[in-house]
A and B are shown apart, each in its own frame.
Chain A
Amino acid sequence: MSVEQSSDLFRDYPFDHPHYDEMFAAGGAPRRHYDELYERLINHQAGELQYRQQASDLNFLNQGITFTVYGDEQGTERTFPFDLLPRIITHQEWETVEAGLTQRIIALNMFLHDVYHEGLIFRDKVVPYELIATSRHYRREMRGVDVPRRAYVSICGTDLVRVEDGRFCVLEDNLRVPSGVSYMLANRQVAKNVFPRLFANYGVRPIDQYGQALLTTLRSLAPPLDDLSIVLLTPGVFNSAYYEHAFLARQMGIQLVEGRDLVTHDSFVYMRTTSGLKRVDVIYRRIDDDFIDPLAFTNSSTLGVNGLFNAYRAGNVVLANSIGTGIADDKAVYAYVPAIIRYYLGEDAILDNIETFLLEDDLQRAHVLANLDKLVVKAVGESGGYGMLIGPHSTRQQQAEFAEQIQAHPRNYIAQPTLSLSTAPCFIDNRITPRHVDLRPYILFGERVTIVPGGLTRVALKEGSLVVNSSQGGGSKDTWVLYE
């Protein structure tokens, strides 16, 4: 069928572009695994989709799936925008992604162990030592500390993008306190309600086991005690991800604690309960390194627990993730990950990196400074889409400011070509229209590596925008990984 004849919903959907579209192959024919969804959509009227959109929005609000808006004294909460149309990934595509992510997390944990112990990778000149020593996230205090199962990173969220030829590439690793998994789970609940029959016909692999898998991972980091006490440490109700913290704690049936609920004594950690002090064995912490222990790190923090680091170093409590993991998601270290995989595992990286220019190198810096209008520049220690220059969408003034910053602190920035992220069809303003998307799968590393199929597909809701972060106008949609 030619596209012109199809329903009004797809009117003006562009097919002539260099980037990859998740639903349509070049020329406008739907990809095979999107056939059924496409058939459903062209038989729908906009009104029906609109009705389903409203029902799903209400569903999110009623479930209280919200994030707090900073700086609003009334504590207003907003729902994270949800797009109705699922993003579909084939079994074969997922196999590659899963193998690639597994390989990557194993290598990154080996790298972190090496960095904080012998440093063989520096001796062998695969990664320059200066790169680590100058990283804001390097924690000298972690040198020689033995981490259970060498699981420095137990919970990882890796951002993948699909490039022009349809390959998934790694855009960045989030190895500190990745968030968003609650939206992945909530999106699935809602999508099942919106398209029940379609969902059943498609044969979608389940993800609801995430909470259980996370609990199993956390358990595997501690000795096998019957009454193992595991808690989730949150910065508190004013944190934008508080909903997720409460949600995960409830899913796992563990206590949601704040720093002031925990005390340390003789290098053990206890929580203060009405039944007295209860020993804590494992802490799934959702507080950054900087704030976790005022005695060991930042003094001004009131979020953390005095003496926690001592208890950790003494091996009396497990932290997931460990401390100092941020060095491995430093954007300058990212450039070395393929080499890191080769060094520890003797394998080529299954998932490619995005080409990255390191600005301490004179040649690369010169190239970048001459092409700021075409490249994306990122601050190495930032996440969440902050500290970024998107060349083609920037003003001369912004470019000049970044040029100055780069020359002053070349170690603090990297540059990458402007990516044309893949687009996926979204239901916006009563028609179906493409928006750029990425994919954040969640990887668990304990006794084994567990990745629930799919992850959070984030959507840049503004037309043409490449920024998918929730804090900057992003939304999300459900991700369907098919059995076959």
Chain B
Amino acid sequence: MNKTTPSMLSRVAENLYWMARYLERAENSARLLDVYVNRTLEIAPGAALRDARLRRLLRSLDLPDPDRIDSDQLVHSLTFDAAYEGSILFNLSIARDNAHHVREQLSSEMWLQINSLYLDVRRKDKVAVWADEPHEFYMHVKEGAHLFQGITDATMNHNQGWHFIQIGRYMERLISLLTFLRAQVVEHIDGTRTSDQPSEGYFELVALLKSVSAFEAFCKVYNPEMQPSWIAEFLLFNAEFPRSARFCIDTLFGSFGALADSTMRPKSLRVNRLAGRLQSTFSFDEIDEVIRQGVTDYLYGIKHQAIQIHDSLFDAYISYSVEAALG
């Protein structure tokens, strides 16, 4: 038997990467929609308030702000409209298409899970979802994505392919977290946002943490007296919370190192250097300083670096030029 590590096709790496990114994106949408729908149920806000929240939700998903908003219609589209870029179904179908193309590289359990999650959402009786408890539906999507991650870790060789999945997942998580912070947290810190209803400040912040599944984890570290700057600190710099920016970049950096080893590339590859630089930023920066200098600019700078890392990943492993590769 030939036991050398076989080389991996760039196309396969690309499919695995995008599969993980789009699945993470679907989960992200499900979380944000779940919290939005729930908040709307709890207190029936005025139409203006609801629209403002919905616009914030769209910005959190990096989706364009429409001129007119039809709340129910929009929530429905964001969930079930396969043609609406950014909807849960849209993201799941792209994730599943990518998986389909590299089905040979996945464990059969992985394919089964991602395919049935997609088919479940597609075939869902929409009327029943809205009539009953939409929360259950969004939970199903979140759990489905978590299950896929667990199955992936438990059934797939932790080889190059697995690292590309990790990279896709944490790259998407990092970028969507930065988008979310800009759309929802900055205004609390700047004080430019007066609470929807004066007494609601606390609930706003709780909802905010719940949107990134961070409420419980946050309360274990900080006392429950919410401060917007603590939330920003936690989501950016906490090394242990698996949805923090710091955690994302740590994981990315680790996987880039493993990739360079298994493809016999130098550790000094550009993508590794960029990731290392971002990692040290997160290790040493302090929230007070960030706030003094302006959170929006800071987040913008980080996102720019994340995109550079994505580009240099592709330059190194996937879409390199023939001339450079043979040079």
Contact = CB atoms under 8 A, between A and B. Distances in A.
Interface of A: 64, 74-75, 236-237, 246, 249-250, 253, 255-258, 260-261, 263, 265, 270-278
A64 to B, nearest CB: 7
Nearest to A249: B104
B325 A274 contact: no
A304 to B, nearest CB: 15
A276 B325 contact: yes
A246 B104 contact: yes
Nearest to B122: A74
Contacts of A273: 7-10
A379 B307 CA distance: 56
Contacts of A249: 104
B100 A75 contact: yes
B10 A261 contact: yes
Interface in B1-51: 2, 6-11, 13
A440 to B, nearest CB: 26
B133 to A, nearest CB: 28
Interface centre among A237, A261, A263, A276 (most CB of B within 10 A): A276
Given A255-B9, A265-B326, A274 B100 contact: no
Given A237-B101, A261-B9, A274 B264 contact: no
Given A263-B322, A277-B325, 4 more contacts: A261-B9, A276-B263, A277-B322, A277-B326
A250 B7 contact: no
Contacts of A74: 119
Contacts of A257: 9
B7 A278 contact: yes
B322 A274 contact: no
Q: Interface residues of B toward A: which range?
A: 20 to 34
Contacts of B2: 253
Contacts of B322: 263, 265, 270, 277
Contact of B100 (A64, A237, A250, A278): A237
Contacts of B10: 261, 272-274
B274 interface: no
Contacts of B8: 273-275
Nearest to B102: A237
Contacts of B317: 274
Contacts of A237: 100-101, 103
B104 A256 contact: yes
Interface in B76-130: 100-101, 103-104, 108, 119
B160 interface: yes
Nearest to B317: A274
A75 B93 CA distance: 12
Contacts of B318: 272, 274
Of the candidates A236, A246, A257, A275, the one having the most CB atoms from chain B within 10 angstroms of its own CB is A275
26 contacts: A74-B119, A75-B100, A237-B100, A237-B103, A246-B104, A249-B104, A253-B2, A255-B9, A263-B322, A272-B9, A272-B10, A272-B11, A272-B318, A273-B7, A274-B10, A274-B13, A274-B160, A274-B259, A274-B263, A274-B317, A274-B318, A275-B7, A275-B8, A276-B320, A277-B326, A278-B7
